[in-house]
Structure 1
Amino acid sequence: MNAATKRDADPALADTGSPPGPGMLERAFAVIRALSEAQPDGGRVTRLAKAVGLTQGTVHRILHALIAEGIVEQDENSKLYRLSVDFFALAAQAGNPSGMRTLCRPALLRLCASLGDTIFLLVKSSFDAVCLDICEGPFPIRSFTGDIGGRVALGVGQGSLAILAFLPEAEREEIIRFNVPRIRGYGVLDEVYLRTEIERVRQLGYAGRNSGVLDGMAGVAVPILDRTGVAVAALSVGTLAARLGDDRLPMVVELLRRQADAIGPQTNPFDVALRRPMHGLSRAMTTERIAG
């Protein structure tokens, strides 16, 4: 088969002098998606070709076209192909520009108006949970994080427990190992208690009610899960223990879940508020002052 016949047999290789058609773009995006599933080690041409249903020659040419555009890179030693850092930088720039705090603010307002209680938005920061936003209800309460910007060790309080329970297992175990000595200062918390509570939260899908650490206070929280099912934040209700009895708890949990389920698919994994919460909070507060 000569070169001209080969191009005719494989439309992906045809050089018509025109811009790439939808078919070529579909093939390129199919390869990109296959590479995303092969991260972080990368994939070989044979495996990628099988995954997308194209010939190895076609996939090889698509890969090198993507390398030329800075979307794909090839490891010099293993010869595996993977998505480049530039690709992820591009994805970050295209992510949700409003940020986590702005994204969640309407949900906090709705929950506060519906429940008449204080609503917290918490995000993970290393081994801690940081309060990114609060919508205050009419009842005076005490919380572990205090005001916006306050932080608490993951595992202490309903919001941080909801986040910890739905992190990947390896990350969760590392946090437990590091935080157990830190949480002992809260009196009733130890490793056995923490692991029992984490398992309970994973079974129920929420963390609640009265931990006994803050006398007279109670809370319930649900995780905000990204598209992969990993917790990136939590919505939490803080209230008086008398306001969170067995008769009211299911309704509160359902309202929290509805809002969390709506937020989760919209979260941007590159959001600075999720990667560096305090930096993201400072930027959000500055934007509000300018807008005001």
Structure 2
Amino acid sequence: MDEAAGTTGGVARVFAVIRALGAAQAEGGRVTQLARAVGLTQATTHRLLAQLVAEGMVEQDERSKRYRLSLDFFALAAQAGNPGDLRTLCRPALLRLCGSLGDTIFLLARSGFDAVCLDRAEGPFPIRSFTGDVGGRIALGVGQGALAILAFLPEAEREEVIRFNLARVREYGVYDEVYLRTEIERTRAQGHAARNTGLLEGMAGVAVPVLDREGRAVAALSVGTLSDRLNAERLPTVVELLKREATALGPRIHPFDATLRRPTQSLAGGQAAVAGRIGPGEGGLDV
């Protein structure tokens, strides 16, 4: 094995461990658990964890012996993910919407074939989302926020995403190509996505795209709430407020924001990274 291949494999293993730690962040992960999750031996996993601890990116609880991503890791991630920066730009809008509507508001941004939750403003009602907390991701087309982004991509990009993501969205049991394309056209015609797929009983969501100066969808503002709070009478008001904020944000998006340049790169290189990473049962609400 040449040196470059060995280095690449080592980096891939480190990030596999980091992702596994992220999935187990609430309770922490044991070496045995993390080794199973990443498909490595316990000895290799322990060595990688020790290196991450030495770098300050991971910490170990002395009592439980469980590992978690450290505060330094999240501080570094915040610096890297907030450069231009979309999250800071949109934060006041999320707070205004949350205060006006009394519901949870999500900011999703496109990352290759996925939508990633960049921020959320928590409402008073207990809800779940496909992307979960900040940093969670879902295939473009699944859930209202990811659908709103997909629907307003340039046609060639949209078709490439559909071809790659179709197998992923089918895993949810209610999607097929006809359904997905119908929802895309509906979203484009209405300017928002607000169809409850019924994947989580009692929950509903509505989202609008945030378009940059070229009319390309780079993000979405999404409301997650109880289905009885998103009835036919209230929906137009919610959509109007979302669209008002999204329209105001679009012209202010920095064209060189590094967060938003990533999706313009070739999608081909991201296929292996996302394939199989998101499966059914990891979320629920259409946001």
Q: CA deviation at 1:276?
A: 4.5
CA contact (8 A) 2:196 2:204 kept: yes
| Alignment-derived partner of residue 159 in structure 1 | 145
Give the one of 81, 93, 107 matched to 1:121.
107
Distance in 2 between residues matched to 1:236 and 1:108, nearest whole Å: 9
Q: Is the 8 A contact 1:158 1:220 kept in 2?
A: yes
Find the residue that maps to 1:209 and give its secondary structure: coil
Deviation track 1:120-169 (CA, whole Å, cap 9, x = no partner) reads 00000000000000000000001100000000000000000000000000
Quote the RMSD (CA, aligned, Å): 1.4
Partner Cα distance (1:122, 1:212) in 2: 21
In the TM superposition, what is the alpha-carbon distance from 1:98 to its structure 2 partner? 4.8
* TM-score, L = length of structure 2: 0.62
What are structure 2's unaligned runs of at least 5 residues? 1-81, 264-287
Q: Secondary structure at the match of 2:163?
A: helix
1:249 equivalent to 2:235? Answer yes
Q: Distance in 2 between matches of 1:123 and 1:265?
A: 16
Q: Could you say which residue in structure 1 is the equivalent of 2:257? A: 271
Shift of 1:97: 6.4
| Corresponding residue for residue 140 of structure 1 | 126
**Could you tell me how far 1:275 is from its partner in structure 2?**
3.0
Q: Which residue of 1 aligns with 2:167?
A: 181
Identity %: 76
Q: How many residues align?
A: 182
The higher-RCO structure (CA 8 Å, 6+ apart) is 2
Question: What are the within-5 Å matches in structure 2 for residues 67-106 of structure 1?
Answer: 98-106=84-92
Counterpart CA distance in 2 for 1:119 and 1:236 is 6
Given that residues 83 and 259 in structure 2 are in contact (C-alpha distance below 8 angstroms), is that contact kept between their aligned partners in structure 1?
no
Find the aligned partners of 1:234 and 1:248 in 2 and give their Cα distance: 20
Alignment counterpart, residue 168 of structure 1, candidates 143, 150, 154: 154
Shift of 1:209: 3.5
Give the AA of the match of 1:219. Answer: G
Gaps of 5+ in 1: 1-95, 278-292
Q: Which stretches of structure 1, 4 residues or longer, exceed 4 Å deviation after superposition?
A: none
